């Protein structure tokens, strides 16, 4: 681990909520990221937040402005998903217990926003290192036809399994990755494509991702992690952070910071929903 993108904060706290599927609101976890960002900016403490959601469809802000986004969202809800618009970058992603969401929440080192690519590289480097035990090569770069496309699509053998976005505050920022760990990538791809077929009727094709079959797969499919791939991946991330913490001279510990109470997080989630509405 000599890559300088793996330089590590002196202190990082793990907030592992991968086994807490009790919150129905998908914006709860995004709101918790917002509140942890405020803590990071005030205290200088970094966090790693791992979480899953039982069944959600989270749109990007650009998706929410498509001509028939509200009608498409109602169709997605009829398929059993909670629908929300997130405050970070990127386009629509489905969330389920097979998808692990990973947030690095870091205080800004110099108060500037000039290093966002370095921060994306840091996330890429961590995920690549966490998956080294599989023997698979993790590549970065946009995968044509994948949902939520971007320069920091992470892929194995040409198929995407992870996307990375960010959210920045005045004194801290969150780098957020969704990792398709277990299940079938094709099922998620079909859902996202069906959403755009409904939401984007009459829209310029450049206004939304052109999602195609065969573009996205899970780590279960690509790296042979098995049906419990979500836990296997989350555990690998925590082990990797532990090694990095030890190398930095700071032992890894579970989060001993005082987390915001659930009522405060739910209030923050309601604020996000009001700020980033789904337009009728």
Would you name the residues annotated as active-site residues? 148
Beta strands in the chain (DSSP E): 12-17, 46-51, 56-59, 82-85, 93-95, 99-107, 139-140, 154-156, 159-168, 172-180, 253-254
Strands 93-95 and 56-59: antiparallel
Q: Are 70 and 195 in contact (CB under 8 A)?
A: no
Q: Are 236 and 100 in contact (CB under 8 A)?
A: no
- Residues with Cβ within 8 Å of 138's Cβ and at least 6 positions away in sequence, in order, are 124, 127, 128, 131, 154, 155, 156
Determine the distance from the C-alpha atom of residue 38 to the mean position of all C-alpha atoms in its chain, rounded to a whole number.
Answer: 19
- Exposure of 263 by Cβ count < 10 A (0-12 exposed, 13-18 middle, 19+ buried)? exposed
Q: Are 236 and 130 in contact (CB under 8 A)?
A: yes
Q: Could you tell me the CA-to-CA distances from 273 to 28, 36, 61, 86, 185 in Å, in that order? A: 10, 18, 11, 8, 28
**In terms of Cα–Cα distance, which of 75, 67, 91, 59 is closest to 210?**
91
């Amino acid at each position: 681990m000599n890559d300088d993108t793996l330089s590590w904060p002196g202190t990082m706290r793990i907030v592992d909520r991968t086994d807490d599927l009790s919150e129905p609101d998908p914006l709860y976890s995004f709101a918790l990221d917002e509140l942890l960002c405020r803590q990071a900016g005030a205290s200088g403490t970094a966090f790693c937040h791992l979480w899953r959601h039982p069944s959600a469809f989270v749109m990007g802000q650009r998706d929410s402005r498509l001509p028939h986004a509200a009608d498409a969202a109602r169709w997605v809800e009829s398929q059993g998903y909670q629908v929300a618009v997130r405050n970070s970058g990127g386009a629509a992603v489905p969330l389920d217990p097979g998808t692990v969401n990973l947030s690095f929440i870091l205080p800004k080192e110099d108060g500037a926003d000039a290093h966002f690519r370095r921060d994306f590289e840091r996330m890429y480097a961590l995920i690549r290192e966490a998956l080294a035990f599989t023997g698979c090569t993790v590549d970065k770069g946009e995968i044509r036809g994948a949902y939520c496309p971007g320069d920091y699509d992470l892929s194995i053998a040409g198929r995407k399994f992870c996307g990375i976005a960010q959210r920045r505050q005045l004194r801290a920022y969150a780098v957020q990755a969704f990792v398709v760990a277990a299940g079938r990538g094709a099922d998620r791809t079909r859902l996202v494509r069906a959403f755009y077929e409904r939401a984007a009727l009459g829209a310029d094709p450049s206004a939304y991702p052109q999602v195609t079959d065969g573009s996205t797969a899970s780590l279960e499919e690509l790296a042979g992690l098995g049906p419990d791939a979500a836990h296997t991946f989350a555990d690998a991330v925590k082990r990797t952070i532990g090694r990095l913490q030890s190398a930095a001279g700071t032992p890894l510990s579970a989060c001993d910071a005082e987390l915001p109470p659930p009522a405060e997080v739910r209030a923050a989630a309601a604020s996000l929903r009001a700020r980033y509405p789904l337009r009728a």
